[in-house]
Structure 1
Amino acid sequence: MQRLIDKAHCKEIAVIIDVVYGHTDSLFPYCYLYRELGYNENPFMGPFAKDYFGESTDFNRELTRDFFFTVNHHWLDTYHVDGFRYDCVPNYWDGPTGQGFSNLVYETYSLVKAKKGEKGYWQRFFEGGNINLIQCAEQLEGPEEVLEKTYCSSTWQNQTFNAATEVANQKWEYLTNFGHRLGLLGYPHEVKVNDDNIRKTALQYIENHDHFRFVCNFRTISRDSSDLLIEGDRSLWYKVQPYMIAITMAKGIPMLWQGQALCENYFVPNSGLGSVAMFRPMRWDYFYDFAGKKMISLVRKLLKIRMKPQFLYGDHWFYDDPKSFQSRGLMLFSRRYKGIFSLVALNFGDSDQEVFFQFPLAGEYEEELHGQDNFTVDAGEYKSITIPSNYGRIWSLNA
């Protein structure tokens, strides 16, 4: 694995590990052994914060804290990983100054910080003058707080996902919230903690392991009387397009879930064993059918556009105009970095829409997705633009 990760680094690919530190299965040795021996005092397990998913680990105990810190150290030192995605943080969240999650990410950050000046693989964490350790929290119950008050660098958040789901049900009134979520309104960009300046961001997604695939919002097909074999109707793949454009061009880190780029269409029940225990392998044959080819083509274009500085580093501005835009199923936002400006115009409805937009900067604008509908405008000029149904346009100033 170390060789695999080192090869990934040569391709400028960071590798993080998904770690589950807050709960275990009942057959985990510290559970099973002490239970079978009838010992009441378990040095590792026990209630701590919120008891979700199995048996909880007790971060009040020194052994537990040292164990998971040592695991992090092992992954960093032996396998050269770039960081961690911490599963279900509420299991061991006891506040920003507690013994659980906050202490673990602080100790892990301090470990890496202390390696500055050493030779070898540790130096990748200090390129660019920052400490580039990735510590991503799945703290869905308080994503803003975990960024603001701990040493983690990023977080999952379901706010964008929830807003997108409402819009997919043609509740256009949620487009305003969706627009603000895409701009990570209320989230810090950088936080000074003690003497450390830590860059912060959040993930942007419309699919993950806990929920059904996004195309299921538009129509599902039942295979039998249960909900275990329901699937989304992939003939409606095109309705996913504006959402894919939105999260890829938005502020934050776009996360494309397993098979999302091919319009995977599994349905996942909200609860029960069917939501976690049913085997749902990625269907690579979708790569070759009509819907898969169309989606992967779009994703490749979007990822190429995403690498431009305005989308990586730029400010995000949502044009909140319910009468002109949201009430018609439209959303417009811009990304701007120094003198580079891009307008992202999205249409979530089933008919093409023409709107007027006042361009803030003069110049030649090129449409990035297809290279059509290019134009030149003066600063402050209102220009009529057409946004295709269930799709979008990205116009960038040709600097």
Structure 2
Amino acid sequence: MENLQEHELIRSALPGAMDHGRGMVTFAIYVPGKQSVHLAGNFNHWDRQQDPMVDRGGGFWVTWKELPPGRYTYYFVIDENLVVCDPYSQEVEPLKEGEGLCSAVEVGGEEFIWRHDDWQRPALRDLMIYEINIGDFTPEGNFQGVFEKLDYLGDMGINAIEFMPVYECAPGDYWGYQPMFFLAPRRRFGGPADFKRLVDKAHDRGLAVILDIVLAHTAHQHPLNQLYSYDQSPWYGEPIGEKNIFGLPTFDYRKTATNGFARDIQFFWLKEFHVDGFRYDYLPAIGSEHSDLGMPYLIRTAREIRPEVFLLGECLPENPDLVRHFDLSGVWHGRFDRGIECLLGEEDITPYRWDDFEAAVEFLDSSKQDYRTADFMINYFENHDKDRMAELLRDKGFSTEILYRKLALGATILLTAPGEPMLYHGQEWGEATKMDLNPNPLHWEILDSEQGRLLYTHYKALCRLRRAHTALRSENFAFAAIYPEHKSVVIHRWYGEMDQLVMAVNFSSSAREFNVPFRRTGKWTDYFSREQLAVKDNPDLKLEPYSARIFILGAD
């Protein structure tokens, strides 16, 4: 009977440490071509010879232990001298003696109870995304800190959080784009249960959770990079896409082991933590080949795990030819960012020129962006990879008063443009720091200032407007008039006959009066001032410097 049990445990073992119940725990690692693998841990006094593992076939080494409930730490010993952590570690911690990390597994722990799996997930076109660096978002810098701000995000109108990497990364990598342990939530943020509680509460608050995930490369210290020379690795090699510009060990998606590892990572976060999607970092290095290598494989396998998953991508500079034929949900729309910076900064930002206004506003027209639909574009003008807009404008010499007028104007464009808007944390009150790879905590006190509170209120009103009007979440968009000499534009958004909006926008430093074409006669309401306008003919309207007026058909 014992032999049958052992056979079944070895047969059913998956990579990593797996608690099968009743104290039975399997440990497994894929290391083809190695002569021996041993398991050492606090359960055997770190004896590197006591627990030899067996090759189940093809280089998949397995053993099992019967352990009472508790927390156990371990590592693998390869060919008697190479010590490596488990590449599938779900938790890691420092070794008690000496330098480095060891893997950890909880045996007999309580299963987390998900209470809000029946929540109503928003449609892609309805997303209003908020990017968060957990370490900077709150003074606590952890999952609990975000947990306590979920009501704040929900009240503002946000319905999706995009977390920068939450897994363990290389020492000194504050942001998390050099992965060390893809399946282990970062210790300084909290444990797996803390993150599950955060995701569950986010769903209760109507917030989707999207993880920024790096599947192009790993840290140099990643366990997989310790096992073989680079040219002999079952995982690394020449990428299908571009050469890695960061000089990091790069996954080769022509290799079976790479594909299996990437599939397992996605499965883990979607099934174990119930996240709603991924933002794939650095797609050009992942690349694509034939119909099912690289990016197509990642997308297909993610959708096999959860068909409705949100799959966003970073492909900058933008390359619509690379991404539009695959089943991504959307990509970061870098041209929106550059266009907004041109118009708010009043300067040339390639490919846009301030003195060619008609061409500069073209980024707003989704039909000219070479993507299949408007909702494929994730629009933004702030993210973790760039200085804050407030800082950029201050560096250009704009006063604080004008700076905030411009930030409000940028918010108006962002929340009313075709595509899904994305904010970077603190943007809603005018956070003004430079990009920093080191800790860069938000200044929540700005929200208590008059200007910070007014900008936040403006964002909140725009989120409410976008949520209330399908027209703003639709494909329907037209320039009704462009006035290059005034640096002004009139935009129509509509959905059916009754859901219609007209936006008049003045990007110039002077008050402007110009003709505003309306789509139909009747009563229109200025969204911000609540002024009623009876439209018979297309009127001339005055706009203050750096301002926008939004008119809604009928009484809103």
| TM-score (normalised: structure 2) | 0.59
What's 1:290 paired with?
450
Shift in Å, 1:10: 2.8
Is structure 2 residue 336 aligned with structure 1 residue 151?
no
Is the contact made by 2:253 and 2:293 (CA closer than 8 Å) also made in structure 1?
yes
Corresponding position of 2:63: none
- Which amino acid is 1:186 matched to? Q
Map Cα deviations across residues 64-114 of structure 1 (whole Å, 9 max, x no partner): 11111111111111111111100111110135725111221022223334x
Residue ranges of structure 2 left out of the alignment (5+ in a row): 1-194, 348-353
Whether 1:315 and 2:479 are equivalent positions in the alignment is no
2:504 to 345, 366, 369: 345
SS in 2 for 1:179: helix
Hey, what's the Cα distance between the residues in 2 that align with 1:232 and 1:149?
42
Helix, strand or coil: the match of 2:266?
Answer: helix
Pairwise CA RMSD of aligned residues?
A: 2.3
Match of 2:491 among 319, 333, 339: 333
Match of 2:554 in 1: 398
Q: Residue 492 of structure 2 contacts residue 500 of structure 2 at CA under 8 Å; is this kept in 1?
A: yes
CA gap of 1:174–1:301, structure 2 versus 1, over 3 A, is: farther
- Give runs of aligned pairs for residues 1-399 of structure 1, distance below 5 A: 1-34=195-228, 40-48=231-239, 49-50=241-242, 51-53=244-246, 54-95=248-289, 97-113=291-307, 132-171=308-347, 172-184=354-366, 185-189=368-372, 200-220=375-395, 234-235=400-401, 236-268=403-435, 277-307=437-467, 308-321=469-482, 325-339=483-497, 340-372=499-531, 374-378=532-536, 381-398=537-554
Contact 2:481 2:516 (8 Å CA) reproduced:
no
Between Structure 1 and Structure 2, how many residues are aligned?
348
Q: What is the CA deviation profile of residues 38-83 of structure 1, one whole-angstrom value per residue up to 9, with x for unaligned ones?
A: x751111222122122221121111111111111111111111111
Per-residue deviation, residues 296-326 of structure 1 (Å, max 9, x unmatched): 01111111111121112251112353xxx23
C-alpha deviation, 1:135, in angstroms: 0.3
Q: Give the superposition deviation at 1:349.
A: 1.8
1:261-281 CA-to-partner distances (Å, cap 9, x unmatched) read 11011123xxxxxx5x33221
Q: Give SS of 2:208's match.
A: coil
Q: Which moved more, 1:205-214 or 1:175-184?
A: 175-184
Q: What is the CA–CA distance in structure 2 between the aligned matches of 1:306 and 1:189, rounded to whole Å? A: 22
- 1:319 counterpart SS class: strand
Contact 1:15 1:82 in 2 (8 A): yes
Classify the secondary structure of the residue corresponding to 1:43.
Answer: coil
* Alpha-carbon contact 2:375-2:420 (below 8 Å) kept: no
- Paired residue type of 2:205: K
SS of residue matched to 1:256: strand
Distance of aligned partners of 1:244 and 1:81 in 2 relative to their CA distance in 1, 3 Å threshold: same
Cα distance in structure 2, aligned partners of 1:376 and 1:97:
56
Contact map agreement 1:232 1:266 (CA 8 A) in 2: no
Determine if contact 2:365/2:477 at 8 Å carries over to the other structure: yes
* Residue of structure 2 equivalent to 1:122: none
The change in CA–CA distance for 1:218 and 1:7 in structure 2 (over 3 A counts) is: closer
Cα gap change, 1:320 to 1:179, in 2 (>3 Å): farther
- Give, in whole Å, the separation in 2 of the partners of 1:95 and 1:371: 54
CA 1:180 to 1:95, structure 2 compared with 1: closer, same or farther past 3 Å?
farther
Change (3 A) 1:282 1:95: farther
Superposition deviation, residue 4 in structure 1: 2.7
More helix by share: 1
Structure 1, gaps ≥5 residues long: 114-131, 191-198, 222-230, 269-274
What is the deviation of 1:7? 2.8
From the superposition, tell whether residues 142 and 78 of structure 1 become closer, same or farther in structure 2 (CA, over 3 Å). Answer: same
Amino acid paired to 1:89? L
Cα distance per residue 1:327-352 (max 9 Å; x no partner):
21212212100011101111122222
Comparing both structures, which one devotes a greater share of its residues to strand? 2
Give the counterpart letter for 1:46 in structure 2: G
Are the equivalent residues in 2 in contact too, given 1:336–1:342 (CA < 8 A)?
yes
Change (3 A) 1:40 1:158: closer
Secondary structure of 2:410's aligned partner: helix
Larger radius of gyration: 2
Q: Give the drift of 1:283.
A: 1.2
State percent identity of aligned pairs: 23
SS in 1 for 2:514: strand
Q: Counterparts of 1:233 and 1:101 in 2: how far apart (Å)?
A: 45
State the distance in 1 between where 2:253 and 2:289 align: 12
* CA distance 1:347–1:56, change in 2 (3 Å): same
Q: 1:333 to 1:143 in 2, by over 3 A?
A: farther
Change (3 A) 1:111 1:368: same
CA distance in 1, matches of 2:263, 2:398: 42
Q: Is the 8 A contact 1:232 1:267 kept in 2?
A: no
